[in-house]
Each structure stands twice: as C-alpha cells, then as structure tokens.
Structure 1
Amino acid sequence: MASMNCHYYSYSLGHTVDVNVFVPTPEGNEQITSESAKKAFPYEKGLPVLYLLHGAFGDYSSWMRFSNIERYAQKHCCVVVMASAENSFYQDMYHGNRYFTFFSEELPGFIKSIFPVSKRREDTFVAGLSMGGYGAWFLGLSKPEQYAKAASMSGALNIVKTFEQIKNGSIDGPFPWKNIFENPDEIAGSSADLMVLYDRCVKEGIVPELYQACGTEDFLYEMNKEVKKTMEEKGAHVIYEEGPGNHNWDFWDQYIKNVLQWMIPV
C-alpha cells in the first residue's frame, strides 16, 4: 500500500489543505507475476475509490491514526481518500468554508487527475462516521449521479434533531450552527435534510445504495432506529446493521470492514 499526503491549494476553500490517500500496491507476501499484477492492480483501468469522512473534532488524519483502514483497503484493492471538513457537517457554510463544493467537486477532480482511480460512478463510494456518517449520505444523496454507494456508521442522520438536542442541552456538540446555516431553525425541509434529498433522488430516478450501522450502546442509536423506520416507510432499500458497541473507534474499525465488503466484495 502506498500512503501519500498531499498538501495543495484548494480554490473552493481558499487555503492549502492536507489530504491522505492510500493506493494499493503489491505487498511483500503477494508472490505475483507481472501479468497477475496487471489483473490485481488495474491502474490503467482505474481502481475503485472510497472517500472516507471523519466525525466531529476529527480531521484528515483520524481514520489513518485510529483504524486499520490501510490494511482493509489493501485487501479490497481500492484507493481511499481522506480530507478535513472541520465541524461543518460537510456544508457550504453560510459564514465559512465551502466544504460541500470541496468534497463533491474539487477533491474528486483533483484525485481523478492525479491518482489511478476509476471515473465510473459504479466504482465511486463515500462513507463516514458520526458527522461523517451524515456527510456520506449527504454527499451521496446530493450527487447521486456521482456515488454508487454511501455508508453511515453511527451517523447523526437526522440533522434537525441533532440541532434541537444540542440547542436544548440534551447532547453536546461543537458545531457552529449560525456559521453553517443562515437560519439553523429552518433546516427541516431544506437541502440539508436527508429525507428531502432522498425523496428528490427517488423523483429523479437515481438513488445511491445506502448502508447504515450503529452500536446499541451509542447515544445516537435511537436516532438511527428512527431513521431506519422512516426509510422503511418510504420503501427505501437500506442495508442496516447493529451490534454491541458505543460511539468509538472499536466499533468503527470493526464496521468499516463490513462497509468495504458491501461496497467492494472480495
């Protein structure tokens, strides 16, 4: 696995950014000929690519530091891209950076121009944890023509309820709501509402495949169960998994393996 850190100027954000990229390469224990290497590592054709999103308080290095994503990506022979979004919920902020534009337009364009990734929708995926779980569905449902599958782990999938719970003090959160949204009290029914985005995808006839997982001891477990029920009522096909676990890296490191197997079976 080739692990690279890219430090470059982002036009949509207006400052330099750090991006970690994993590219699978033949490992020492893989005794392969040049011909089998071409089949296993089709760089010219383009490898599947996963945009992997961090949660609140995290950054581009979170998955790299706290999980075994590099080993898992090697197994599934896919490129993994990780970048920072502050605590923005992956939005184009009202006062702040345009993270939706960065993640949905600029970053994929940069990655496709530099790295051996497929340009096909069928090979392009997005996943994340907590705030990044919301972000994965948000990107996937906002740009269904771009992502084939979107996966949420312990996701804050109901952003309206998340705002209300933080506002009334029932949960903590570092999100600068008045900087993210012009009017945070009007999130419901807006393009930040995942249910609105899902309905729009259905109407337009293109919906990414969705995955949802949450630990049964997670403080977001009830929210995830409610979202699961809502999606079932809409007739949505969502792969749902739950199991013992909390809002921590033990759970996410385990379930990212399930996510990769669902996205890129081996």
Structure 2
Amino acid sequence: MQITSEWLTLDTATGSMRCQLFRPHNSNKRYPAILFYSEIFQITAPIARTAAMMAGQGFLVLVPEVFHELNAAGTVLAYDDAGKDKGNADKWAKPLSSYDSDNAAMLSYLQKRSDFNGKTGAMGVCIGGHLAFRAALNPAVNAACCLYATDLHSNTLLIGSAKQTLDCASEIQAELLMIWGKQDPHIPAEGRAKIYQVLTQAGCNFSWHEVNAQHAFMRDEGERYDPALALWVYQQARELFQRM
C-alpha cells in the first residue's frame, strides 16, 4: 500500500500543535486512525519511519509534537546527551492534563476527515507509550499499543488538573497491548509488576509481553535496535488495531 504524508497545525487548549499525518495514498476509502506518540525527542526520522510503517497497513497515523508548548514548531531533539536532557526537562514541565486536551484536539480533527472510519487507536514508545495508555482514558479510543511506557509505574509526572495515569486504569474501556523489554532499566521488574497488578485489579482488557530487549529496541538507529522484535511488534499492533 502506497502512503503519503503531510504537515498540519491543530489548535489546542495550550496553543498551536504541529502534527504529521501519514495515510494511505487512496483517499477514496475510509480508514481507522492511530494517534502515534513519540519519544521525548519528538518527530525524529525513526519515529516518522515507524508511523509510515503503520500507515502502510491501512491506517491514518497522526503524530503530534508532544511538547509543542515548550518548543518552536518543527523542533526535533538529537539522540545525544543534550537532546536527552532537554527532552526530559520538557517531560517534567508539561502537565498530564495538557496531553488530554491535545488528544481532544486530535480526535476532533479526525472526525472532520472524510477518509476516517470512526475507529481510533493509540500507539507510542517510551514517554509515548505512557501517552498512548493515557489516550485510552478517552472512550473514543478503542485500543492502545504501549511500548516500554516510562513514568507509568512511578506516578511522578506533573499532573496539572488531572490525575496520575495509572490511578485512572479502571476508566479504560479500550483493549491494551503492553510490551516491555526485560533489560530496560527505566521500567524495572518491580515497576512492571506494579502495572500488571493494577491492570488486573482494574479489570482491564489487556495482553502483556515481556521480551528480551533493552529500552528503545524499536528505534531503528543505534545499537539497541532489534529488527526481528520490531517486525513482531508491527504485526501485533496491526492485529490489535484491526480488531477495533
């Protein structure tokens, strides 16, 4: 399936948010959508390639600049210490409630598209995995694929007028696909166990996978990339979103 991409700007409660939309080239059909959330580095080349891969499976993939309030439009952070420090500072500075209003803006935009079929999923890596989980708090989101979701077990992000994400697990109606790397120092075994227990007690509909991989094993740059696991994830994600 051939795809195309375009940039657009959405109005949110906290200002303009630049997004990149990847979609099948044939706009005469209607497709389900995926809200795809990046790492702290925003829309890097690996993030764009992952979004393109999902779009090629027959989805509208909308990728926001997750820290749009804190950076000039188009800001992409490098995969180095300076980029990591800036991205982490942005992560701690943006309240969770602002992501909720970002999600509302994206969902509203999708409703206006003639090629949208009304079904929406969420997917993300690292902090984006957390944001995909949080997006599932909105009943308009039907499924979420959360890849090595950081800061979910720790309940340490700035909340604003919202509640910590994991504390809201019982509100989730969507099907969840939770994928973790066993060698990921950012979400240790005890943190993963806590999340599993909370989801079980909340009665969530979820599948759970712990694989032999490090943090950011989906990123196709750097020594932590695992191509075989990445291919398996794409297959799992496609099947999840096709069930919506």
TM-score by length of 2: 0.72
CA contact (8 A) 1:52 1:128 kept: yes
User: Shift of residue 99 of structure 1?
Assistant: 3.3
- For the 8 Å contact 2:155–2:164, the answer to whether it is kept is no
CA distance, structure 1, for counterparts of residue 168 and residue 140 of structure 2 = 14
CA RMSD of aligned residues (A): 3.1
Q: Does the CA-based 8 Å contact 1:72-1:257 persist in structure 2?
A: no
Tell me which residue corresponds to 1:147.
Answer: 141
The alpha carbon displacement at 1:208 in A equals 1.2
**Paired amino acid for 1:194:** T
Given that 1:128 and 1:134 are in contact with CA atoms closer than 8 Å, whether structure 2 keeps it comes out as yes
Distance 2:211 2:36 in 1: 22
Counterparts in 2 of 1:183-198, with a 5 A limit? Answer: 191-198=162-169
Distance in 2 between residues matched to 1:18 and 1:197, nearest whole Å: 28
What SS does the corresponding residue of 2:136 show, helix, strand or coil? helix
Contact 2:8–2:21 (Cα < 8 Å) also in 1? no
Aligned length: 209
The structure richer in strand per residue is 2
Q: Which amino acid aligns with 1:253?
A: A
DSSP-derived class of the 1:118 partner:
strand
Q: Distance in 2 between matches of 1:111 and 1:19?
A: 12
> What is the SS of the residue equivalent to 1:152?
strand
1:101 maps to 101
Contact 2:10 2:19 in 1 (8 A): no
Query: C-alpha displacement at 1:253, in angstroms?
Result: 3.5
Q: Is the 8 A contact 2:99 2:131 kept in 1?
A: no
Deviation at 1:137, TM superposition (A): 1.1
In structure 2, the residue corresponding to 1:3 is in which secondary structure? strand
Residues in 2 aligned to 1:80 and 1:20: alpha-carbon distance in whole angstroms: 8
TM-score (norm 1): 0.67
Q: In the alignment, does 2:55 pair up with 1:73?
A: yes
Tell me the equivalent position of 1:32.
none
Percent sequence identity is 12
After the TM superposition, which residues 45-56 of structure 1 pair with which residues of structure 2 at under 5 Å, given as runs?
46-56=30-40
Tell me: CA distance 1:4–1:212, structure 2 relative to 1, closer, same or farther (3 Å).
same
- Would the aligned equivalents of 1:215 and 1:221 in 2 still touch at CA under 8 Å? no
More helix by share: 1
- Aligned match for 1:213, one of 144, 156, 179: 179
* In structure 2, distance between residues paired with 1:158 and 1:226: 10
> Take 1:137 and 1:230, find their aligned partners in 2: how far apart are those partners?
13
Q: Contact 1:124 / 1:146 at 8 angstroms: preserved in 2? A: yes
Larger Rg: 1
Gaps of 5+ in 1: 27-40, 164-176, 183-189
Q: Where do 5+ consecutive residues of structure 2 fail to align?
A: 68-86, 220-224
- CA shift, 1:262, in A, is 2.0
Q: 1:124 to 1:217 in 2, by over 3 A?
A: same
